[in-house]
Every structure is written in C-alpha cells, then in structure tokens.
Amino acid sequence: MKTVLDFNNSFVIIFLAGTLLSFLIHHFLEFIDYRARIKNGGQLPQELASIPLAQETFDKEKLAKISEYENAKYFAWIPSAISSLLLDLGLVIFGFYPFIFNLVTSWVGFPQNFGNTWLVIALFLILASIPAEILSIPFSLYQEFHLEKKFGFSNMTFKLWLTDQIKGLILSGILGALLITVASFFFIKAPNNWWWILAAILIGFTFIMQIIYPKFIAPLFNKFEPLPEGPVKEKITQILDKCGFKNGGLFVMDASKRSGHSNAYFSGFGKSKRIVLYDTLVKSMTPDELAAVLGHELGHFKLHHITKRLFVMIPLEFLLLYVLYFFAQFPLLYQGFGFDMINAANINNAQFIGLFLSATLYGSLSELLSPLRNISSRKQEYQADAYAAKVCGGGQNLISGLIKLNSENLSELLPPKLYVFWNFSHPTLIERIHALNKLK
C-alpha cells in the first residue's frame, strides 16, 4: 500500500516524534517498574513492617500474588501497546483517514451545509473508529475473562459483558449524535468562532452530565440501594454532619456482580450529590474505616479541590480548543496527512478534519504532560488525607482502610519513584501512611 504522509511536513514530524517518544517513555517506565517488582516484590517494605495490620495482611503469599498480578497485567499490556502503536501509525501513514473522507464525500458530497456536514462528520467518525474498536476487543476479553478471573476479581459473564458493550454503544451514539449536531451547526454558521462556542458547550455538557449520570445513566449498568440502617450508616452520618455536608443520598452499588475490586465515589453536584459505596468495600471494612475513607472524599469537597480544578480546567478547555482551531487553519496540516482535496479555498467547510488532525497531534504529545497533571493531584490527595484524619480524630482508621484497599486490589507497594512521579495521580500507600503519621 502506498504511503500518503509527507515526511518533511512539520506537523507530520511532530506527530511521529510525539507518538514514538510517548511509546518509548511508557515502555521504559513499565519496564523499570517490572524490574523493581522482581527485586523487591516479595518483601514487606520497612515502612509497613512496624504496623501489625500490614504484617498480617501482606504475608508472603499476598506479596507474591501482588507481584504476579502486576506482572500479568504488564505482560498483557505489552502486545496491546505495540498493536495500538502499529495501528495508529499504519492508519496515518497509509492514508486510512483521507480514504474514509473521500469515500464519505463521494456518497454525501463535500461538506457545504448543516445537514450535509452533520452526515459527513458522523459517517467519518464512525468509520474512522472501527479499526481501533476491533483491535481492542480481543485484549478486553483476555483482560476480563482470563487475567481478572485468574486473580479472583472478575465475576463478569459473557452475556453481561456483551450487554454492557451494547448499552455503551447506544449511549455513545446518542450523546455523540447530539454533540455532532451542535458542532456541525457552528462549523458552518461560525467558521471563525466555533472554538470558543464548542468549549463553552463542552463545559456545560460536563456539568449537565454530573446531574444526569447518577440518576439516569449509572442505573442502566448497576443497582443502587440506599445504605441500610446500622453501624455503617450511623458512623458515616456522624461524619457527614460533622463536616456539614449535604447530599442526595447514601447508596451501595452492586459492583461485585462484575468485579471484586473495591472503591467509593461521589457523583453529581448541588442537591444531586450522591455518595456511592461499592458493596465489596462495605463488606471488607469496619464502620470506622469506611467513615475515614469517606472523610478523605469529603476533604476534596470541603477543601474546594473540585472548584479549584474547574478554575484550571475551564480556561484550559478554551485554550486547547483555540490551539486546535488555530492549527486547523493551516492547509499544510491537511496536506501533510494526505488530505490533498482540502485547500485554502475550501478549508472552512472541512475544519472538523483540521480539528480531528489537531487532536491527533495533541494525543501524540499528551503522555508528556502526565507529570504536570499528577503533581497537583497528589498534593490534593495528601490534603484530603489530612482532612480525614482531622474529622475522624486521627489517621489510624484511614491507614487501616488504605491497607485493606491496597491489599484487596493487589496494588504494588514499592513502585519506583520515577514511575510514581510520571504515572500516579495518588501517592503510594507508604507515602500516604508516612504523611498521616507525621500529623501526630
């Protein structure tokens, strides 16, 4: 097959360099993490040796299982990552996307009006996404039905997995159609201003989804039962009252029908705020530990972490859309990736292709931004831990809860510092325990 890329094009050079560099960085980090497990995986870290619960929880069998699980994920990830890289490069180098665009426009016509543009964008995005979706299926099935079942996590049946996929596809289609409709209109009616209009719409859409998701979408996949009366609800209610936190209800989610992993989360905002506990979490922790874990999540709200993220996210959303719009104005971008049919004369009618290509460029470089995102996130996690210790009368219940969470999810105990710096949005268990103990 003939290549269509212009390898001297600056945009193409950025894409290839960013894609390959991100791939190499990711593989290097995963490899040093694997080597660290080979060296230290069977040992209880010194920082945990003085904690009776940690000694009891992380026996030799559990430490070996953690390493085995992390190694199994690593060896499953390697072919998946290599296949994704080859597919991403192959689709671009051999002109799959220009081919799809030409095919769609031969059916519908070059984008000229609202209805015409909507159909072109919808067909292009659907056809362009098919190769990656097909490639992901065998790796997803292997992950779910071999790896996760081998380590006692997955309770998924193939029927349930297939049902989830169909529901997700339908929801994605509905939401995608809505966004494409809005975007198509502004691509045609406001070719020089669509970037800030779309940014505002996407931000508004995010807020609306915070209201819609917990009440209408999440129940399509899981059952949510009110937390029953008893010691757990009593303890959690005490913490909520102490923090002055108003919510739309305490719920237990039947997470165990799919997985043995444990978690808890908040969803919604305002009166729609919900506190959701996985049933696996409720079964494994004492009321005091649950209250402490919940106190951590409350800390994010009371310390205004969500608001602070919004103050950062909203300007960045506008900036990102402007940058994508800016690059979408360059005929050189289209020509470099084989879209020779798009030129200065008709570029306004095909800016969605420029947006697609600009987003592809951004995706090739996004791995390089991971440390910046994670530094701020880890700082806020420490602050939320400190808040939980404050409202719960000390950090011991949170420490024991974190130990149980780490053990049940088979999370590794001693990842390399560079790996943590680059990839972790949360501090490690040892770092969190050390920080909590310093609060004394």
Residues designated catalytic: 297, 385
Q: Any idea what DSSP says for residue 366?
A: G
Distances (CA, A) of 376 to 86, 316, 426: 33, 15, 10
Count Cβ atoms within 10 A of the Cβ of residue 170 and give its class: 0-12 exposed, 13-18 middle, 19 or more buried. Answer: exposed
Tell me if 347 sits within 8 A of 331, measured CB to CB.
yes
Q: Return left, alpha or beta for 96; rule: phi > 0 is left, psi -120 to 50 is alpha, else beta.
A: alpha
The CA angle 124-196-105, to the nearest 5 degrees, is 20
Show the DSSP H helices in 329-369 as ranges.
331-336, 351-365
For the chain, the straight-line distance linking the first and the last C-alpha, in angstroms and rounded, comes to 66
Name the residue among 409, 410, 389 with its Cα closest to residue 399: 389
Here the tokens at position 22 are 């991100």
State the residue for tokens 């970037």: 195
Rounded distance, CA 273 to CA 249, Å?
Answer: 7
Report d(CA 127, CA 384) in Å as an integer. Answer: 44
